[in-house]
C-alpha cells in the first residue's frame, strides 16, 4: 500500500501517517506500507507547490483567494486534470516504477488527479483511494471521477463530491484521519499533568499555525505573551524557523515555551486547556479529540474558511481574527470557567478518533475489490514499464 502526500502545509503528511499507522495497527504483518512525498512526480508548476504555498498565503493572500475561487469549478478542474495528466505522464510513470503497489492512497489532490490516468496505462486494475481532508469548503480539484474510492471527513464534503460528479457508491464518510493512538496519548498526558506538582498555574494555551506555522502566528503570539492574563503559553511554530526566531526574541510577560516542528502534538494538547490555531482541519480535529475549546485566529482563504463555521456552529470555539479578540475570548473563559467547560464538551462531541481505522478498512476493501475484478489480483509484472 503506497500512501502519497506533499508538504503543502502539514495536514496531507499527517493524514497519510495516521492512515499508515492505522493499517499497521489493524492488519499487523498483512500489508507492507510505503509513505511517499509525491511532489517530484507532479508536473511543473505544481512541483513548486511546497515552496510556494506558505509564501503565497502570507504574501499574496488576495491573489491566492482569487485563484482558489476562479478555479473552483468542474470545467476548470477538467482542464487542470488534462494538463496534469499530460504534462505529468513521464514523471508519473517513473514514480509508479519506483513505487509499485497493489493500491495507492492519495492524500493530496494533485496526486489524485495525476495517478489514475498513469496507472490505467500500466496496471488498470490497481485501485486508487482518495482521502479528502477539508471539512467543509472542498476545492473542485479534490475530485476526479477516475479515483476508485473516496474517504471524506464530513457529510458536507460528501455533498461536494456528489456535486462534482462522484458516484455515491464511491464515497465513504469516515471523519478526518488522525493518529489512532491520539486520544490515548492525550489522556496519558492529562493524567501526568494532574499528578504533577510542578504544573504551571493559569490557563494552559497551545498556539499552533499548522505544519508551516502560518497565518498571523507572530502577532498572535506577541499579544498573548505580552498580556497580563493568567496564562502559560506554548507556541508551536512548525517548520517556520523565521517565526520561531521572532517569537523567541519577543519580550514576554508570561511563562512561554517556543517550539519548532513537534512530533508530540497529542502530549502538548493533553497538557493544554485551550487551543488557539489557524483553521487547519487536521489541527482542529485533533483539538476535538483532545476536548479542547478552540480559538481560530486565522484561516487560509478558500479551503479553510468553511472550517470557521464548523467550529463556531458546533459551539466548540470562536473566530477571533484580531489578536485583541483572542485575548478577549481567553479573558472571558478565565472569568467564566463553566463556559470553557461547555466549549470543551462541545468540542469533544465533534471528535472522530477512529477515522484513520475506518479508512484502513476502506483500503483493505479496495484491495479485496481489486481481487474480485482483476485477474490476477496482484500482478507486479504489470508494474514494470518498458
Ligand atoms: N503538526 C505537527 N507538528 C507541528 C505542527 C503541526 O505534527 O509542529 C501537525 C498537526 O498536528 C496537524 C498537521 O501538522 O496534524 C497540520 O495540519 P492542518 O490541517 O491543521 O494544517 P496545515 O499545516 O495543513 O495547513
**What is residue 214's three-state secondary structure?**
coil
Look up the pTM and report it.
0.94
Distance from the CA of 208 to the center of ligand 1, in angstroms?
Answer: 8
Q: What is the mean pLDDT of residues 261-267?
A: 98
Distance from the CA of 265 to the center of ligand 1, in angstroms?
Answer: 9
For the chain, the 3-state helix, strand and coil shares in percent, each to the nearest 5, are 50, 15, 35
Instruction: Quote the Cα angle for 113-117-120, to 5°.
Output: 145
Q: Which three cell numbers stand for residue 31?
A: 500489508
Which pLDDT does position 371 carry in this prediction?
63
End-to-end CA distance of the chain: 23
Q: What is the mean pLDDT of residues 36-42?
A: 97
Over the stretch 135-179, which tens digit does the pLDDT of each residue have?
A: 999 999 999 999 999 999 999 999 999 999 999 999 999 999 999
- Cα dihedral 14, 19, 20, 22 sign: positive
Distance from the CA of 304 to the center of ligand 1, in angstroms?
Answer: 13
| Statement: residue 375 has pLDDT above 50 | no
Share of the chain above pLDDT 70, in %: 95
Over the stretch 314-326, which tens digit does the pLDDT of each residue have?
A: 999 999 999 999 9
- Give the DSSP H or E segment for 252: none
Measured from the Cα of 15, ligand 1's closest atom is 15
Question: pLDDT-derived band of residue 280, with 50, 70 and 90 as boundaries?
Answer: very high
Over the stretch 104-133, which tens digit does the pLDDT of each residue have?
A: 999 999 999 999 999 999 999 999 999 999
Which pLDDT does position 372 carry in this prediction?
41
- For a substitution probing ligand 1, which of 14, 108, 307, 308 has the most ligand atoms within 8 Å of its CB? 14
Measured from the Cα of 283, ligand 1's closest atom is 20
Distance from the CA of 268 to the center of ligand 1, in angstroms?
Answer: 13
Ligand 1 shell residues, CB under 6 Å = 9-11, 14, 210-212, 236, 238, 261-262, 265, 280-283, 286
Question: pLDDT-derived band of residue 59, with 50, 70 and 90 as boundaries?
Answer: confident
- For a substitution probing ligand 1, which of 18, 283, 290, 301 has the most ligand atoms within 8 Å of its CB? 283
Amino acid at each position: 500500500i503506497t500512501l502519497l502526500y506533499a508538504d503543502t502545509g502539514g495536514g496531507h503528511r499527517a493524514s497519510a501517517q495516521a492512515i499508515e499507522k492505522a493499517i499497521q495497527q489493524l492488519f499487523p504483518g498483512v500489508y507492507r506500507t510505503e509513505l511517499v512525498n509525491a511532489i517530484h512526480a507532479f508536473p511543473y508548476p505544481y512541483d513548486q507547490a511546497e515552496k510556494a504555498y506558505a509564501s503565497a498565503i502570507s504574501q499574496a493572500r488576495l491573489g491566492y483567494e482569487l485563484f482558489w475561487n476562479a478555479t473552483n469549478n468542474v470545467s476548470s478542474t477538467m482542464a487542470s486534470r488534462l494538463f496534469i495528466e499530460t504534462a505529468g505522464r513521464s514523471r508519473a510513470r517513473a514514480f509508479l516504477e519506483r513505487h509499485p503497489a497493489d493500491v495507492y492512497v492519495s492524500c493530496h489532490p494533485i496526486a489524485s488527479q495525476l495517478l489514475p490516468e498513469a496507472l490505467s496505462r500500466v496496471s488498470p486494475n490497481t485501485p486508487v483511494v482518495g482521502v479528502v481532508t477539508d471539512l467543509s469548503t472542498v476545492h473542485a480539484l479534490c475530485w476526479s471521477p477516475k479515483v476508485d474510492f473516496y474517504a471524506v471527513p464530513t457529510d458536507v464534503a460528501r455533498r461536494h463530491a456528489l456535486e462534482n460528479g462522484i458516484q455515491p457508491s464511491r464515497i465513504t464518510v469516515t471523519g478526518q484521519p488522525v493518529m489512532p493512538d491520539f486520544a490515548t496519548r492525550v489522556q496519558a498526558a492529562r493524567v501526568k499533568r494532574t499528578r504533577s506538582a510542578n504544573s504551571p498555574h493559569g490557563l494552559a494555551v497551545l498556539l499552533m499555525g499548522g505544519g508551516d506555522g502560518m497565518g498571523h502566528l507572530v502577532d498572535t503570539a506577541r499579544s498573548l505573551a505580552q498580556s497580563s492574563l493568567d496564562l502559560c503559553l506554548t507556541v508551536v511554530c512548525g517548520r517556520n524557523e523565521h517565526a520561531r526566531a521572532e517569537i523567541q526574541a519577543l519580550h514576554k510577560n508570561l511563562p512561554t515555551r517556543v517550539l519548532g516542528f513537534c512530533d508530540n502534538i497529542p502530549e502538548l494538547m493533553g497538557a493544554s486547556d485551550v487551543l488557539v490555531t489557524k483553521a487547519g482541519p487536521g489541527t482542529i480535529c485533533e483539538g476535538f479529540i483532545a476536548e479542547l475549546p478552540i480559538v481560530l485566529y486565522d484561516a487560509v482563504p478558500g479551503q479553510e474558511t468553511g472550517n470557521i463555521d464548523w467550529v463556531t456552529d458546533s459551539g466548540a470555539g470562536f473566530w477571533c481574527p484580531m489578536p485583541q479578540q483572542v485575548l478577549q475570548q481567553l479573558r472571558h473563559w478565565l472569568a467564566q470557567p463553566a463556559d470553557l467547560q461547555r466549549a470543551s464538551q462541545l468540542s469533544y462531541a465533534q471528535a472522530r478518533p477512529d477515522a484513520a481505522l475506518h479508512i484502513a478498512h476502506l483500503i483493505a476493501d479496495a484491495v479485496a475489490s481489486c481481487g474480485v475484478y482483476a485477474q490476477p489480483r496482484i500482478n507486479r509484472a504489470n508494474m514494470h514499464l518498458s
